[in-house]
Structures are given as C-alpha cells and as structure tokens.
Amino acid sequence: MPLLSISNLEVEFETAEGVVKAVNGMTFDVFEGETLAIVGESGAGKSQLVLSFMGLLAENGSVSGEAKFRGEDLLQMKPRELNRIRGRHIAMIFQDPMTSLNPFLSIEKQMTEVVRHHQGLSREEARAHAVEMLRAVRIPDPEERIKQYPHEYSGGMRQRVMIAIGLLCAPELLIADEPSTALDVTVQAQITELVGELRKKTKMALVLITHDLAAVAEISDRIIVMYAGEAVETGTVDEIFYSPQHPYTRGLIASVPRLDRISDDELQAIPGNPPNLLELPIGCNFRDRCSEATEQCLERPPVWRATSGRTSRCFQGIEGGEIVNE
C-alpha cells in the first residue's frame, strides 16, 4: 500500500478576476522510503498541491478529490485530526529559512515545543533529543548553539535547523518546498548531501518541490513534471533525464546552465512565460511556448502511458505506450 495516495486532486481559488484552477486533476502515489520530486515553474501549482492536502490553503482556496495517508483521507479530516498527523507523521519544510523560524524564540524553544507537544517528552528529554537532531544535520557544537536565536545562525544553518525540526518526530513523510532555493549554491550542495544521507538512514519518504531539475537529479527516485496545474510527464529519474518524452521536460533540462560542457552557443531558455491560469491557451497548455507544436495541439493532448508506468501528456506519445484517457 502506498504511504500517500493522491487521486483526482483539484484546487481552486476564488479571485476578483474569476475562479483560478491551480491544480487540475493530479493523481499519484508516494511509497515508503522513496523520494519523489515535483518539478515545475512558478505558478505550476506544485506548492498549492501540497498545501491543499496539508490543510494549509489560503482562505479563498478549496480542494476536492482524495488524499489518503495510510488509507485515511486527509481532506475529510477535522482540524484536530489533521494536527495529530501534521508534524508527527507528515512534516513540512518551507522555502525561506529566514522567515519560517520565529526570531523571538531560541532554537531550543522552537525545537522542544514540537516534541513536547507530539510525544509528551519532558523538558530534559526533549532537549537531549533536539541536540541529537542538530548534530545529525551537522550543526557544530549543538549543545551551545541550541541556546542561540535564529539571527545568530547563517542562512544555510537555519535551513539545517528547519530540516532538524522536520525530522524531530521521525515522520514517515517529509515534504520540502524548494528547501535550497534561497541559499547559495555551495550551501545547496551541502543540503542536498545531507538530505541524501538522511534518506539512506531512515525509511522516511520524501517529496521535494523545485523549479530546478538539476537540484534533484542526484536524490530523486521518481519525478513528476507539472505545468499549469497538471502533470505533463512522470517517470523514474533515469527516464526523465535520459529519455525525456515531453517537450516541456526537454526544455527544462536544456535550460540548466552547465559547467561540465564547453559551449559558447546561446543559452537555452524556454521562450515565453508561464501561462496565466485565467487565460489558458486552447488545446495543449504548453502550446504557445512549444517549439514542436503542430495544428493537432489545438486540441487537448491525451495522456500516454508506457509499460514501465511512465506517462506523458502530449500528442507525440511514448514509443510502445498507449493512450490512457480521452
């Protein structure tokens, strides 16, 4: 049984300009111990997807579909039941380590609060546990540093503290929303290494959200590429990087500037901008930015699935695959 099973999830927002469909019929599973990356540009709906089943949507947002965690539908839970799951069984790390820590509370206070609430540990036990976690994320001198306040930590260290807080209750699922985007490349590399190490040590499943395919190449098992609220391609990490099927996936890979190749050609960008969800193009959502678009693309593209399970939402199809919808 999958740890998390999302089916037909839709997220809508009521805005002054009309109803915006941020997530449009997402279906996927997350299994124990695996790392799933959800990749897409700003506005693709990747954050809203996760926030919706964590019960964290903005007030004008609504969600429908199913999000089963160990068989229980998170979307049907009352806030109290959801609180029992959040933090303890599913933990989340947000993008900006500068604003997700409370500047008025010591690191110790912020860390021990979580375990005392969820696991009922005493103050000393909670503190010892927190110090151990800080050591696990390689904060030097954790017994001393736990007494300090967020401003005394560098950006990379703050993000490591956020990861440590996420791991405190040994969750079965950790969701990280752009955990290293606000950080220097050097620190990004350290965080990637840390996450990869933790993944090997525990059976925790990991969902990584990012706009940068290169950032997840090393640590993902499977990847979902999202565009305008939909999955346009899904597959294993090797399938996505070594034989991408959807033109958008190929564009994302090509746009990564690389140092391991000599090339003085023009840098490759995906032309145009992510679409306005209120004025989606007719037919394929990616059509007006796609260099391979044809007349056919004026209609909704079908979803193709190969025997390996990988999918692509494009008329080009997948060799040896079949159409599974429409």
Partner 1 sequence: MNKPVLRVQDLAVTFTSYTGNLFQRRQRQLRAVDGINFELNPGETLGIVGESGSGKSTLARAILGLIAPGRGRVMWNGEELTGLDEEALRQKRKELQIVFQDPVASLDPRMTAGDIIAEPLWTFYPNMERLQVEERTRGMMKVVGLLPNQINRYPHEFSGGQCQRIGIARSLVLNPKLLICDEPVSALDVSIQAQIINLLKDLQNKLGLALIFIAHDLSVVRHISDRVMVMYMGQAMEVSDKTKLYRRPLHPYTNALMKSVPVPDPKLAAAARQDSWLTGDMPSPYRRPKGCIFHNRCPFRVKRCEADIPALRRMEDGDWVACHRAEELDLSIQVAASG
Segment interacting with partner 1 (CB under 8 A) among 7-15, 87-95, 120-128, 216-224: 216-224
Q: For strand 230-236 and strand 205-210, is the pairing parallel, antiparallel, or unpaired?
A: unpaired
Segment interacting with partner 1 (CB under 8 A) among 108-116, 123-131, 249-257, 301-309: 249-257
Under the criterion CB under 8 A, does residue 16 sit at the interface with partner 1? no
Segment interacting with partner 1 (CB under 8 A) among 90-98, 104-112, 190-198, 311-319: 190-198
Under the criterion CB under 8 A, does residue 58 sit at the interface with partner 1? no
- Closest-CA residue to 289 (of 317, 245, 250): 250
Segment interacting with partner 1 (CB under 8 A) among 28-36, 55-63, 161-169, 210-218: 210-218
The answer to whether 211 touches 225, Cβ cutoff 8 Å, is no
Alpha carbon separation from 271 to 101, 290, 299 (Å, rounded): 37, 8, 21
Q: Contacting partner 1 (CB under 8 A), which of 65, 156, 229, 235?
A: 156
Contacts of 70 (CB under 8 A, 6+ apart): 1, 3, 89, 172
Under the criterion CB under 8 A, does residue 190 sit at the interface with partner 1? yes
The answer to whether 12 touches 61, Cβ cutoff 8 Å, is yes
Q: Contacting partner 1 (CB under 8 A), which of 79, 200, 263, 307?
A: 263
27 to 56: interface string for partner 1, x by CB under 8 A: --------------xxx-------------
Subset of residues 277 to 316 that bind partner 1, contact rule: CB under 8 A:
none
Q: Contacting partner 1 (CB under 8 A), which of 80, 257, 291, 319?
A: 257
Under the criterion CB under 8 A, does residue 1 sit at the interface with partner 1? no
Under the criterion CB under 8 A, does residue 247 sit at the interface with partner 1? no
Torsion sign (Cα): 198, 199, 202, 207: positive
Using CB atoms within 10 Å of the CB of residue 310, give its burial: 0 to 12 exposed, 13 to 18 middle, 19+ buried.
Answer: buried
Between CA 259 and CA 155 the distance in angstroms is 25
Q: Own/partner pairs for 192-195, CB < 8 Å, 24+ apart?
A: 192/218, 192/219, 194/137, 194/138, 194/160, 194/163, 195/163, 195/219
Q: Contacting partner 1 (CB under 8 A), which of 55, 65, 229, 251?
A: 251
Size of the site for partner 1 (CB under 8 A): 51
Under the criterion CB under 8 A, does residue 14 sit at the interface with partner 1? no
Residue 79's identity, in one-letter code, is P
Under the criterion CB under 8 A, does residue 144 sit at the interface with partner 1? no
For residue 173, the minimal CB distance to partner 1 (Å) is 23
List helix spans (H) across 140-207.
142-145, 155-167, 185-201
Nearer to partner 1 among residue 165 and residue 213 (C-beta)? 213
Tokens at 158, concatenated? 């703050």
Between CA 134 and CA 143 the distance in angstroms is 9
Place of tokens 């926030």: 51
Beta bridge partners of 69: 4, 72
Under the criterion CB under 8 A, does residue 189 sit at the interface with partner 1? yes
Between CA 171 and CA 54 the distance in angstroms is 14
Under the criterion CB under 8 A, does residue 273 sit at the interface with partner 1? yes
Subset of residues 224 to 243 that bind partner 1, contact rule: CB under 8 A:
237-238, 241
Segment interacting with partner 1 (CB under 8 A) among 6-14, 45-53, 245-253, 280-288: 245-253
For residue 107, the minimal CB distance to partner 1 (Å) is 16
Under the criterion CB under 8 A, does residue 154 sit at the interface with partner 1? yes
**Interface residues toward partner 1, by CB under 8 A:** 41-43, 140, 154-157, 184-190, 192-193, 196, 211-215, 217-218, 220, 237-238, 241, 251-253, 255-271, 273-274
